[in-house]
Structure 1
Amino acid sequence: MESAILNAALDQLAEVGYLRLTMEGVAAAAQTGKAALYRRWPGKEELIADALEHVLPVPADMPVHDNIRDDLMELMGCYQRIVDVSRGTAFQVLKQDGEQSKDLMRDVVRERVVNPLRRQLLAALERGVERGDVRASAATSTCAEIGPAMVMYRCTIDAESLTDDFLTELVDNVLLPAVRA
């Protein structure tokens, strides 16, 4: 039942957004009573935070490749999987009009997704410097944020999906020219 509720919460978040999401709507979508929700979660913020925790993978250590392009493709692919499993809602909670969404949900996304991937991107750039395919001045947190920023923009402003073609274009035409030695 808990899994059905958490999935219904994500479906509702994707469908109606945070502001219009209600415990009643989630209960109806999960085919249960709202009392069942309130026994476990005091409000929609806690419910959504748990739903995100439920589906968001903790990015594991990525395979290390022998070139920066493959490392970047692997890491950007992780963002694609996160968007897919969260039905696009993971980054929606960080969106500007998400000011009404609370810090708890943002913290879940930052701690489960954003910060681990940022660290892995920086590590990939540092490995690239050691191999000679990334210039030393590009192994910075700012350069490591370019790809995630484009993904965030795509998911929140353009509301378009993260296709394989988009990720390839992002890596080949934006990220690599920005960091290559």
Structure 2
Amino acid sequence: MSFADKLSCPGTRRGEARSNAILDAAIEVVAEVGYDRLTMDAVAQRAKASKATIYRHWPDKASLIVDAMRRRSCIDADLPDTGTLAGDLEGMVRQFLLAMSGTDGPLMVGLLAASAKDPELGALMRSQTHDDKQRAVEAVLRRARHRGELGDSVTPDLVLDVLPGALFMRLFVLGQPPDEPFVRRLVDDILIPLLTAPARQGA
């Protein structure tokens, strides 16, 4: 199986058709014009929906676009149990990579830039995207604790302080495509030593 084949998103959530059409339209419009120029009118026109329908579910464009991006995210807490911490971490890293790469990656970078000027957008993005990542990491760590691979003091923050930045650097600063050797190095040389350091295990 190629690395591209492993970057799959079986857990992508789907809702009812009308909401999906609106969320898809929001992504299309923001990709074309940017967040600053995104309007509910443009989304309604693209989705062939009324603004009243949109506002029943999303009070503003910040909540709409964050919900649209979150629906497309491949970060899922229900990752397959591989039986080892290393295997589970590799699966999680692939999910994070998929969520940050492809056409949605540059869009996420643009939204992060826009959030610096829009506190409401920034707060929603930090809350919802961080919560999704935290649940995924906690699921992996919980299994490792049950297997006796980790101590009880290890928290998701250890991973979240390091992993997103490493992936951002690889994808958007260095412009290098992800591959299996990169995933294994990230897990074997950085994440596992960080999580299993004696000071952490004995805390």
Shared fold, TM over 0.5: yes
For 1:110, the equivalent position in structure 2 comes to 130
Alignment length (residue pairs): 172
Q: Could you say if the C-alpha distance between residues 171 and 20 of structure 1 is closer, same or farther in structure 2, counting changes exceeding 3 Å?
A: farther
TM-score by length of 1: 0.66
What is aligned with 1:40? 54
| TM-fit CA distance, 1:14 | 3.9
Counterpart amino acid of 2:190?
V
Amino acid at match of 1:178: L
Deviation at 1:6, TM superposition (A): 0.9
Percent identity among equivalent residues?
Answer: 26
Q: TM-score, normalised by structure 2?
A: 0.61
CA RMSD of aligned residues (A): 3.8
The answer to whether the 8 A contact 2:85-2:140 is kept is no
Residues 92 and 137 of structure 2 are in contact (CA less than 8 Å); yes or no, is this contact kept in structure 1? no
Consecutive unaligned residues of structure 2, counting only runs of 5 or more, are 1-17, 198-203
* 1:158 pairs with 2:177: no
Distance 2:111 2:104 in 1: 14
Amino acid aligned to 1:110: H
Distance 1:93 1:109, change over 3 A: farther
Within 5 A, what are the aligned runs for 1:27-106? Answer: 27-28=44-45, 30=46, 32=48, 36-41=50-55, 42-56=59-73, 59-83=76-100, 87-88=104-105, 92=109, 95=112, 97-99=114-116, 100=118, 101-106=121-126
Unmatched segments (≥5 aa) in structure 1: none
Deviations 1:94-143 (A, max 9, x none): 735522124234433233x1221231243255356x14xx6x59834443
Distance in 2 of aligned mates of 1:159 and 1:6: 31
Q: Which amino acid aligns with 1:108?
A: Q
